[in-house]
Structure 1
Amino acid sequence: MTDWYHELTQEIAPTFITVDNPTGAEPIPDSFLFNDTLNTKIPVEAGKTYLLRLINIGAFVAQYFYIEDHTMRIVEIDGIYTDAAEADILYISAAQRYSVLVTMKNSTEKNYPIVTVADSVLLDTIPSDLKLNQTNWLEYNSSASFPQAVMTVSDCSDLNPYDDMSLVPYDKMPLLEDPDVSLELTVTMQVLDNGADYAFLNDISYTKPKVPALYTVMSAGSLATDATVYGDYTHSVVLDEDQVVEIILNNGDTGTHPFHLHGHAFQMIDRFPSYGAHFYDYADGDPVTYNASNHSTFPAYPARRDTFVLPPQGYFVIRFKADNPGVWFFHCHIDWHLAQGLAMVFIEAPLAIQERVTIPQQHYDVCEAAGIAYEGNAAANTEDYTDLSGQNKQIAWLPGGFTARGIVALVFSCVSAFLGMGMIAFYGLSDIKKGAQGPIALREEVREHAD
């Protein structure tokens, strides 16, 4: 399932991060597809059990998924097998995957709608011609009718999807011990000095370095363990091998954010609010942040996946073990938010990367052809890796007070206002008798000629 834009990203993007869109309203998809089309019919045999592999490959919009009058049994999420769990409705964000078992009915008298419902809460506006609900079918009988799905709720937010926090991994991997590294991050959206809206993790909007981080790792020697060399605006965190890492992610934004971690399936140990009737309760209120001394009981065998939905103005807590040396992106999988900078980087066991990884020559050839430096720190400095002069920077913050140009503009505005008021007072209070008699005399003269 996916959202579909009828124009290319490079045609849409220039209208997104711009002074003309200070609220950061995401571009609205033109339509929604199922298996790259519409009105899909999946032939099935009565009484059989099928494994359905569900993937949201969209750029933006999450979708609810259900099959009328059928129950799903979840057996896998994001590549991690789970104990079977029955579900009626799933909420599948961009990049999330589910495998479900569905047992067919014994009767072939009718066909059943497969329903996808776009999460309209994510959309700032809903065009009148945008169809949010799509019907496809389990085809038991090609001669029977193919009925359209009937929505049982007035708003998609009233649907009650299965809470993926409730799943138990099949391998029963226990809760990771207390973390060696704990990072508390806050998502915010803010307008910068160019008038456009950007996304931040702890006031850093990811800005790509002049040298890709992996190439900095490979060329920095022992300095690869120093986070400084990766730049001030890549939000890079260096991890030692086998450390237990905890990420506390608070949402200061009113929208949901599906966060994806490369290189790992993390344990989901807390989220608030949970999926269900109260998931959007704090979208219009004050943000709720994680309290380490007052939280729900962590599960003994936490569900694991690589993409987890952050609630509006809520939080989640995840843990993973740094047992996979590499340079791993952690980012919102709504592509528009990634473009706004909602990302950071984990540099995991950089010295182990140097020992175990060999970059093929063709990679360097591609960099040369593209004019991208492949040695040095984030500023492409190969002489002093701690010198970040010339690094790419995020757009400057809006000034806290008046700038010099603003002060000059204010002074001239005030002077113009006082001059205008003075002119009004001067002419308004001057002798108007002579001016008033002119038109009266003229009217009298006109009457005389008329007579």
Structure 2
Amino acid sequence: ELIMTFEDWFTTEFAVRQAYIDSLEDIRTLTSNFPKALINGYDGNKTAPITFVPGKKYRLRVISMSVNNWFKFRIPGHKMTIIEADGVESMPLEVDGLILGPGQRYSAIVTAHDSAQFNYIYNVTSYSQTLFSQGLIPLMYTGLINYRDGAPVKTIPAPSDEHLVWPEETAMQVADKQVPLPVDRRIELTMKKFTHTHHQHQTTLGNTLYKPVLVPTLYTALLMGDLAANSSVYGPQTNAYILKHLEVVEIVINNPELEDHTFHFHGHNVQVIETGPYGNSSTENREPVAHKVSGPWPMWRDTIQVHGFEFIRVRFRADNPGVWFLHCHLAWHEYNGVAVVFVEAPGVLQQRQSVPKEMVEMCKRQGIPTQGNGAGNQGFDLSGLPPAVYPSS
């Protein structure tokens, strides 16, 4: 078993980078501060070789620890068989390589060749659609698959990506053969791009830009009694959706823009049902998005890719009472509010959990209120919250 980690590495801390981005009149003019890539914690071209013993099978646990960049990973001359995604076992799926959005994980079986006559090169490509840096993307890295010290490296022709098989959300099937859940409720979330302060282009997932409120949403859900089942008490900035206990919720995320996203569901894995075209990709000189439906046993995972001009349909059962975040895994998007909150079964939550006194004390030391609605008031009085930011019509 081998672990491969990929991450985008910046030379400045997030707060410094974000201040720079906030200062721009148009984020699309960003031309500096593009990240390098780390592979297993080292500069992408300086990672230690991976040793293969002829004839052995290896489980590669491939993890994207990225906050912005996508990674493609291939070992030319070797097939990969996916057996797990985001901690959920899958039926075997043979691919030529892996594409990982920020936060995604895979396990793949790779069988070493029977001979140690040659060594091989693995390829890693790091790329982004968020940071537009002319001449800097994509970044290409290579490393050695070492069968025998000093063996020559076998040259493998490199076909273009469109001639290779990559994993798709709908192509994978879950190992325990769960059929699609019957739907009780449907929530449709459409990303909306608009111009905000400093002429910046912002994107929402819900009705507004998500912003933290004064009282932690979990505390409001636990301490507001019956009012916790009313989304208004959390403040419009939370984009809160109240879920009933054990209902099956279908989430549809629509992406009418060119840019790809990954979305992370806290508290749940979700069943990937369908993807298809949304919006007008023909205006961007790219191939129309294909419509794809999962097979009889849709894959479950917690982080999904939503490509440009695409929708994705997923389902889960609300069997985990709590307050759960759904957010874009790109750090700038999460920071800027591309997120919603699911307040799941607040009545059941109040019966099962309470706020630990240690948490209350920690909040008090930081000046964070721990009682009331999102503004720290009673009922529906939200005075004191900063104004919610809505997309322009």
Taking structure 1 as the reference length, the TM-score comes to 0.79
- How far apart, in 2, do the equivalents of 1:27 and 1:233 lie? 31
Equivalent position to 2:373, from 361, 370, 377: 377
1:56 to 54, 60, 64: 64
Is the 2:234–2:373 Cα contact (8 Å) retained in structure 1?
A: yes
Change (3 A) 1:323 1:357: same
Which structure: greater strand fraction?
Answer: 2
Kept in 2: contact 1:121–1:157 (CA 8 A): no
Report deviation, 1:137. 2.0
Counterpart of 2:260?
256
Superposed, 1:77-92 pairs within 5 Å as 77-92=85-100
Q: How does 1:124-135 map to 2 (within 5 A)?
A: 124-128=132-136, 132-135=139-142
Q: Which of the numbers 382, 388, 391 marks the counterpart of 1:394?
A: 388
Q: How many angstroms does 1:235 deviate by?
A: 0.4
The 1:289–1:86 alpha-carbon spacing in structure 2 relative to 1, beyond 3 Å, is closer
Q: Distance in 2 between matches of 1:26 and 1:97?
A: 29
Give the 5 Å matches for 1:13-92: 13-23=18-28, 28-37=33-42, 38-92=46-100
Query: Secondary structure of 2:252's partner?
Result: strand
In structure 2, which of residues 189, 192, 197 is the aligned counterpart of residue 188 of structure 1?
192
Query: What does the per-residue CA deviation read over 1:137-188, in whole Å, with 9 as the maximum and x for residues that have no partner?
Result: 22111222457987543xx6776522231111111111001x2211111112
Alpha-carbon deviation of 1:365? 1.7
What's the CA shift for 1:352?
1.2
**Residue type of the alignment partner of 1:394:** A
CA distance in 2, matches of 1:260, 1:111: 37
CA contact (8 A) 1:219 1:376 kept: yes
The answer to whether the Cα contact below 8 Å between 1:175 and 1:299 also exists between their aligned partners in 2 is no
Aligned equivalents of 1:67, 1:283: Cα separation in 2: 35
Q: Amino acid of the residue matched to residue 12 of structure 2?
A: E
Matches within 5 A, 1:414-429: none
Q: Is the 8 A contact 1:17 1:24 kept in 2?
A: no
The residue correspondences of 1:228-377 to structure 2 (distance < 5 A) are 228-272=232-276, 284=284, 299-377=295-373
The offset of 1:124, in angstroms, is 1.4
Cα distance in 1 for partners of 2:283, 2:69 equals: 17
State whether residues 268 and 304 of structure 1, in contact with CA within 8 Å, keep that contact through their aligned partners in structure 2: yes
CA contact (8 A) 1:207 1:393 kept: no
Task: For residue 359 of structure 1, report the CA deviation from its aligned partner.
Answer: 2.8
Please tell me whether the aligned partners of residues 256 and 309 of structure 1 are also in contact (alpha carbons under 8 angstroms). yes
Structure 2 CA distance for partners of 1:48 and 1:396, relative to 1, 3 Å: closer
Higher percent of residues as helix: 1
Q: Rg bigger for which structure?
A: 1
Per the TM alignment, residue 18 of structure 1 is displaced from its structure 2 partner at its CA by 3.4
| 1:110-160 deviation per Cα after TM superposition (whole angstroms, max 9, x unaligned) | 2111211123555412345x671111122111222457987543xx67765
Identical columns (%): 30
The structural deviation recorded for 1:32 is 0.9
Distance 1:71 1:63 in 2: 18
Q: Deviations over 1:351-393 (max 9, x none)?
A: 1111112332221122111111111111111xx2211122233
8 Å Cα contact 1:68/1:114 also seen in 2: yes
Match of 1:143 in 2: 150
Contact 2:21 2:27 in 1 (8 A): no
Q: 1:305 to 1:3 in 2, by over 3 A?
A: same
| One-letter code aligned to 1:386 | F
- Match status 1:168 vs 2:164: no
Change (3 A) 1:297 1:2: closer
What runs of 5+ residues in structure 1 fail to find an aligned partner? 275-279, 401-451
- CA 301–131 in structure 1, closer or farther in 2 if over 3 Å, else same: closer
| SS of equivalent residue, structure 1 residue 336 | helix
Contact in 1 for aligned 2:124/2:140 (Cα 8 Å):
yes
Work out whether 1:199 is the aligned partner of 2:206: no
* Mapped contact 2:306–2:312 kept (Cα < 8 A): yes
1:322, distance to aligned residue in structure 2 (A): 0.4
Aligned partner of residue 215 in structure 1, secondary structure: helix
1:218: how far off?
A: 1.5
Secondary structure at the residue paired with 2:19?
A: helix
> Secondary structure of 2:324's partner?
strand
User: Which residue of the other structure, out of 108, 113, 136, is the alignment partner of 1:100?
Assistant: 108
- Distance in 1 (alpha carbons) for counterparts of 2:106 and 2:52: 20
Distance 1:159 1:189 in 2: 33
Task: Tell me how far apart the structure 2 counterparts of residues 257 and 119 of structure 1 sit (CA, whole Å).
Answer: 13
One-letter amino acid of the counterpart of residue 215, structure 1 = Y
Instruction: Please state whether the residue corresponding to 1:99 is helix, strand or coil.
Output: strand
What residue identity is the alignment partner of 1:391?
A: L
Q: Which runs of 5+ in 2 are unaligned?
A: 1-5
